[in-house]
């Protein structure tokens, strides 16, 4: 296998917004670098607001931590600290009711140095953010620059041309439970406050958080802020086959950077040292393969032992997006990690060579559908596309094209709520505003999440079942 990038589907909406889905192959050891790219970035001094996991106890301690502190503890702390952070409850907003609830962190990422702006609201709340970060405004999710018409003059003066109100948490209210018609205990509910001023503060280090769904947002400095990609999983492949792959075609670094302080190397090893470094790398590959084989002989499941082989595997992902500029600026830069830069340059070339096809309202962007499958009804096409995005192939793991197997996989994904593959399937939105991950496109995932929530709300509650039983 080798570095590769190809466009699977390229669509444009009636509003002219391009949605592109690519399949990309690169060494597995830079998967984190690929996944940690975030267009939406917050300054390192931004505060996150947590409640302890034991918040059901009286007098619960609530506390804050800067996103930079959280990043350091998450990536460089001891294992017990990392587990503790993963259990902490980060404040988030139910976008349907406005209620502030809790979610958990999946990952925290360093997004590099970017131009940062200070947003000040009429109530005095402030946050430092890149112009691309999305905030919850009265008319939905919007990038800061779109919400207020933000621009930066050559003299580094921030100018903004539109008024906006952004969502913050902090109003205590009583929500009425729909199923019982009675008020719940007081809860915190988001409200909107007008932007008073925006100032440019300079280029600063930025970070972002990825949180669990169904609402991909979190509370930062009191603001409600936002946080599509699917990867082939090593757990789905027999260990014996992976061992064969890493022995025949291992992923090896493109160059051997010389050790130094900082996140990237500027110099490379001499030819002799680079040759020795590759020999040591391949020795580690051989040891990992041998240990994986020993665990396989002990009948250990592949979901554990295949992890030993991952640093030496090639990896394929499917990624869909409407906003690519920032990704290419960071990952095609000369100081980017060589392996991710090689993949990004291929992605850029593939997109530049692709001609997007226009989709009208009501039509759907369905990656991995084959030309002869256009005769399928729309619902089947949507489901098959989502399933194949999960599998990262239009073929099953047995190398066959089987629509029935695709539909079975779709149902399992929906039932288990593994919904990230549903993000690649989308239809043009009536406006150019951000809808979850995409601008100007509505993802199948949101439709499925709404249907799941509706099913849950319509299900009979235990109390009503007991009452019905007593009355029989």
DSSP 1-40: ---EEEEEEEEE-TT--EEEEEEEEEEGGGHHHHHT--SS
**Residue 262: predicted pLDDT:** 59
pLDDT tens by residue, 261-277: 655 667 889 999 999 99
List, in sequence order, every residue forming a beta bridge with 140; answer none if it has no partner. 137
CA distance 283 to 286: 5
pLDDT tens by residue, 324-336: 887 888 788 888 8
Q: What is the 3-state secondary structure (H, E, C) of 81-142?
A: HHHHHHHCEEEEECCCCCEEEEECEEEEEEEEEEEEEEEEECCCCEEEECCCCEEEECCEEE
The answer on 220 and 99 residing in a single domain is yes
pTM score, two decimals? 0.64
The per-residue pLDDT of the chain, averaged, comes to 82
CB atoms within 10 A of CB 142: 21
The answer on 336 and 409 residing in a single domain is no
Percent of the chain scored above 70 by pLDDT? 83
Does 206 reside within a domain? yes
Which residues, 6+ apart, have CB-to-CB distance to 246 below 8 Å?
285, 288, 289, 309, 312, 313
* 327 Cα distance to chain centroid: 13
Q: Which two tokens stand for residue 324?
A: 């690519």
**Residue 180: predicted pLDDT:** 40
Which residues, 6+ apart, have CB-to-CB distance to 203 below 8 Å?
113, 114, 115, 116
Cβ contact 228:423 at 8 Å: yes
The answer on 453 and 327 residing in a single domain is no
Of residues 81 and 313, which shows the higher confidence score? 313
User: What CATH number is associated with residue 328?
Assistant: 3.30.1360.170
Which residues, 6+ apart, have CB-to-CB distance to 217 below 8 Å?
92, 93, 95, 136, 211, 224, 225, 226, 227
- Closest to 392 (Cα-Cα) out of 206, 247, 234: 234
CB atoms within 10 A of CB 274: 16
pLDDT at 58 over 70: no
The answer on 334 and 198 residing in a single domain is no
| CB-facing half-sphere around the CA of 6: CA atoms within 13 A | 8
pLDDT tens by residue, 394-405: 776 667 788 999
pLDDT at 183 over 50: no
Does 469 reside within a domain? no
The answer on 218 and 75 residing in a single domain is yes
Helix (H, G, I), strand (E, B) or coil at 218: strand
Percent of the chain scored above 90 by pLDDT? 38
User: Domain end: 330, 357, 384, which one?
Assistant: 357
- Closest to 125 (Cα-Cα) out of 221, 55, 218: 221
CA distance 251 to 29: 8
User: Domain end: 325, 357, 389, which one?
Assistant: 357
The answer on 89 and 51 residing in a single domain is yes
Q: Which two tokens stand for residue 282?
A: 């391949």
**Residue 398: predicted pLDDT:** 63
Of residues 235 and 82, which shows the higher confidence score? 82
Does 56 reside within a domain? yes
User: Domain end: 357, 372, 403, which one?
Assistant: 357
pLDDT at 302 over 60: yes
Name the pLDDT band for 126 (thresholds 50, 70, 90).
very high
The answer on 161 and 241 residing in a single domain is no
pLDDT tens by residue, 10-55: 999 999 999 999 999 999 888 866 765 445 578 888 988 887 655 4
**Residue 263: predicted pLDDT:** 57
Environment class of 180 (CB within 10 Å of its CB; exposed 0-12, middle 13-18, buried 19+): exposed
Region of poorest pLDDT, from 264-278, 363-377, 411-425, 446-460? 446-460
Residue given tokens 């300079």 in the structure block = 202
Name the pLDDT band for 388 (thresholds 50, 70, 90).
very high
The answer on 374 and 236 residing in a single domain is no
The answer on 91 and 28 residing in a single domain is no
Does 464 reside within a domain? no
- Mean pLDDT over 153-180 rounds to 72
**Residue 5: predicted pLDDT:** 95
pLDDT at 306 over 80: yes
The answer on 85 and 31 residing in a single domain is no
Angstrom distances, CA of residue 262 to CA of 265, 278, 311, 332, 335: 8, 22, 22, 19, 12
CB atoms within 10 A of CB 200: 18
The answer on 82 and 18 residing in a single domain is no
Does 466 reside within a domain? no
Structural domains in the chain (count): 3
User: What CATH number is associated with residue 97?
Assistant: 2.170.16.10
Domain coverage including residue 412: 359-458
The answer on 314 and 325 residing in a single domain is yes
- Mean pLDDT over 91-107 rounds to 84
CA distance 48 to 42: 11
Does 366 reside within a domain? yes
Does 187 reside within a domain? yes
Of residues 373 and 467, which shows the higher confidence score? 373
Environment class of 230 (CB within 10 Å of its CB; exposed 0-12, middle 13-18, buried 19+): buried
Does 307 reside within a domain? yes
CA distance 325 to 251: 28
Q: Which two tokens stand for residue 279?
A: 């020999």
CA distance 48 to 223: 10
């Amino acid at each position: 296998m080798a570095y590769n990038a190809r466009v699977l589907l390229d669509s444009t909406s009636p509003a002219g917004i391009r949605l592109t889905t690519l399949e990309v192959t690169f060494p597995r050891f830079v998967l984190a670098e690929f996944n940690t790219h975030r267009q939406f970035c917050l300054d390192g001094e931004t505060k996150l607001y947590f409640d302890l996991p034991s918040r059901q106890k009286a007098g619960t301690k609530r506390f804050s931590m800067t996103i930079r502190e959280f990043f350091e503890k998450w990536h460089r702390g001891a294992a017990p600290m990392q587990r503790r952070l993963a259990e902490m409850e980060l404040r988030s907003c139910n976008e349907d009711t406005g209620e502030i609830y809790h979610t958990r962190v999946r990952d925290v990422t360093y997004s590099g140095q970017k131009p940062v702006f200070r947003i000040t609201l009429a109530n005095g709340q402030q946050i430092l953010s890149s112009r691309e970060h999305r905030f919850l405004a009265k008319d939905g999710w919007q990038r800061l620059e779109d919400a207020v018409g933000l621009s930066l003059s050559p003299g580094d003066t921030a100018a903004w041309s539109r008024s906006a109100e952004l969502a913050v948490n902090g109003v205590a209210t009583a929500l009425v439970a729909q199923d019982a018609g009675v008020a719940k205990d007081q809860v915190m509910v988001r409200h909107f406050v007008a932007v008073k001023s925006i100032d440019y503060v300079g280029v600063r280090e930025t970070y972002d958080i990825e949180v669990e769904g169904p609402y991909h947002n979190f509370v930062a400095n009191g603001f409600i802020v936002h946080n599509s990609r699917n990867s082939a999983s090593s757990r789905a492949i027999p260990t014996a086959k992976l061992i064969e792959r890493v022995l025949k075609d291992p992923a090896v670094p493109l160059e051997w950077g010389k050790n130094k302080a900082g996140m990237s190397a500027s110099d490379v090893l001499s030819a002799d040292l680079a040759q020795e470094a590759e020999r040591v790398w391949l020795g580690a590959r051989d040891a990992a393969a041998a240990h994986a084989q020993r665990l396989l002989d002990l009948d250990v499941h592949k979901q554990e032992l295949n992890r030993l082989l991952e640093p030496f595997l090639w990896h394929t992902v499917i990624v869909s997006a409407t906003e690519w500029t920032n990704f290419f600026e960071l990952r095609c830069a000369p100081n980017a990690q060589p392996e991710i830069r090689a993949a990004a340059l291929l992605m850029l070339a593939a997109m530049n060579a692709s001609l997007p096809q226009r989709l009208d309202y009501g039509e759907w962007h369905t990656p991995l559908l084959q030309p002869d499958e256009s005769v399928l009804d729309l619902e089947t096409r949507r489901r098959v596309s989502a399933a194949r995005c999960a599998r990262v192939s239009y073929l099953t793991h047995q190398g066959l094209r089987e629509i029935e197997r695709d539909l079975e996989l779709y149902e399992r994904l929906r039932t288990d709520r593994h919904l990230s593959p549903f993000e690649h399937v989308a239809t043009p939105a009536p406006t150019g505003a951000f809808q979850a991950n995409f601008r100007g496109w509505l993802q199948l995932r949101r439709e499925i999440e709404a249907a799941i929530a509706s099913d849950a709300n319509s299900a009979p509650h235990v109390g009503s079942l007991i009452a019905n039983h007593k009355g029989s």
